[in-house]
Amino acid sequence: MLDVIEGDLLTVSGRDYPIKSVAEWSGQKVTPTFRRLASLSAATKRSTKDDATGKRTAATTHLSNLTCTPLDPVSAELASSMGLDTPHELKQCFLGDTSGFVHVVIEDLKR
């Protein structure tokens, strides 16, 4: 599974989106058709804790050369079942590389 965690940022088309949830996409075969659907270039960013100051550092690129499906709205049922409560729109995509894909839910802050 990709090293993607809640709190990372997903970068797609030059925009950063906070990642709210990540789940392994198991039980599904990644077909050539699915790989064609994952047509967007993506990367993730992660901030770390500065040991000297104890503060979080600015997020820097963590994973690159990823592909993802277009961002789609999350259904109300899915958001509710995941316990995600946010005033912002939740969207989802499948993010991956040659090793496989993960299901990612992000928060669209509508800047």
- Chain-centroid distance of CA 75 in Å reads 17
Tell me the pLDDT tens digit for each residue of 39-91: 999 999 999 888 888 888 899 999 999 999 999 999 888 877 777 667 788 99
Question: Which residues have C-beta within 8 Å of that of residue 101, sequence separation ≥ 6?
Answer: 2, 25, 30, 38, 94, 95
User: Is there a domain that residue 16 lies in?
Assistant: yes
Establish if 3 belongs to a structural domain.
no
Is 18 among the domain residues?
Answer: yes
pLDDT in tens, 83-97: 766 778 899 999 999
Is 1 a member of any domain? no
Domain with 22 in it:
9-108
Identify how many contiguous H helices and E strands the chain contains and give both numbers: 2, 7
Q: Is residue 103 part of a domain?
A: yes
Which pTM was predicted?
A: 0.86
- Per the structure, the count of domains in the chain is 1
